[in-house]
Amino acid sequence: RILLLFVFIYYDYILNKIRNQDYSNMAKEVASYTDVANQIIKLVLSGSAQKRSYERLSNFTDAIGNRVSGSHNLELAIAYMYNAMSQDGLDVHLEPVKVPHWVRGEEGAEMVLPRPKTLAMLGLGSSVGTPPEGIEAEVVVVSSFEDLKSRGANVSGRIVVFNQPFVSYGETVAYRAFGASEAAKLGAVAALIRSVTPVSINSPHTGVQDYQEGVRRIPAACITVEDAQLMARMAARGQRVVVRLNMGAKTLPDADSFNTVAEIRGWQHPEQVVVLSGHLDSWDVGQGAMDDGGGAIISWEALSVIKDLGLRPRRTLRAVLWTAEEQGGVGAQQYYQRHKANISNFDLVMESDLGTFAPVALQFTGSPAAQKVMQEVVQLLAPLNTTRLEPHGEGTDIGPWMQAGVPGASLHVEDDRYFWFHHSEGDTMSVQSPGAMDRCSALWAVVAYVVADLQDMLPR
């Protein structure tokens, strides 16, 4: 028994020694890219690529504007990016997909009682419209789903105004997504949702909403924080609040669209891929500069920088500009279905969809062994002061790949202002900073290139 115990201890010692040696070799390999990483960062922050991502984004969004799924503007955006990336010397192609085609139409809302007031509003994506004559009904104001249920029969025939407080986007967005169906279950004729934002200057914020199967579909729109609070105060005083709502919204048959793909082919393993991505579509308000023009542009810019330096990694770098993300990652889901048979060759999937403000860290989902590799990779970002690796890479478009076990990364930025402008007329170039976009582009390029050029793929 003593001999057997000795054998086990010695075996464990040898395994640990091998692991430590493997880690040491890996760390040395990653560290060998320090000069290349510094070249990339220098080119973007102070070289010929300085402010280029910002200029590309401003040229694009000023020319095209917003680009909702199924719209002519989205078609123009795809053609614009195809031509621009082709002229940049990248290998570009389009992959066809079918996408939802919801049209807002003419819309408006006004409070009739206790005094006339125009209500700033935006219909929610996939909402049905009102009858041509509109809907005029008394309002019931609620602060939560529990509050709604407690009103019971008092909801029937009324317009429900949700005046829920903003806690976090992840928690509060449930009211935008499910408020209409929850109200319809109790007989409401329409739902007005307080915009999901922590800050408002009388600005409505749109977004997609989901009707539940088997529940009557009623018109749904977002209103401003100010107007939701106003009607809540009036109702609390016992005043009768009446609103007239007109919405010309309708859903047309699915439209043809494309995911836009640009590549730098790998020299040794072209079949193996590192994906960088952002979504090209937006809502039909503002310019879609922040959500997610910036993410799309830095994914293109990363490939441009690598090409400008004459670099070509072992594996293929693939920038994918998704279509119809705002409708639930529709373009990305179809991309996954088309390419999942080749999943073993997807090394890393990256997505930027929370703005391109100043970068703070890289978020990552992967095996413990892959995390060790990525922890070394982010040390190359010391000139950007973003050497922190955080858990939980995220992104609607890369979600299917991560759920299937592919390592995933996302950009963590100083996003405290993100939901101030999200899905509103405020999402314009005015919220973007050239310096912040440069830092995001440099980070994106360094991480993508190094991972694509390492001897081995990230361990699963």
**Cα separation, 299 vs 57, whole angstroms:** 12
User: Measured between alpha carbons, how far apart are the two ends of the chain, in Å?
Assistant: 37
The answer for residues whose C-beta is within 8 angstroms of residue 128's C-beta and 6 or more apart is 217, 218, 219, 247, 249, 250, 251
**Cα separation, 104 vs 123, whole angstroms:** 7
Q: Cβ(312)–Cβ(264) under 8 Å?
A: yes
Q: Using CB atoms within 10 Å of the CB of residue 6, give its burial: 0 to 12 exposed, 13 to 18 middle, 19+ buried.
A: exposed
Query: Would you call 110 a catalytic residue per the annotation?
Result: no
Instruction: Calculate the alpha carbon distances from 290 to 73, 278, 413, 418, 424 in Å.
Output: 17, 11, 12, 8, 11
Residues 337/341/345/348 CA torsion (nearest 10 deg)? 30
Element holding 160 (H helix, E strand): strand 159-162
Q: What tokens were used for 52?
A: 């280029």
**Cα separation, 252 vs 266, whole angstroms:** 41
**Cα separation, 319 vs 137, whole angstroms:** 49
Q: Which residues, in sequence order, are bridge partners of residue 409?
A: 350, 364
**Cα separation, 218 vs 124, whole angstroms:** 11
Question: Catalytic: which of 263, 325, 351, 376?
Answer: 325
Q: Which residues carry out catalysis?
A: 325
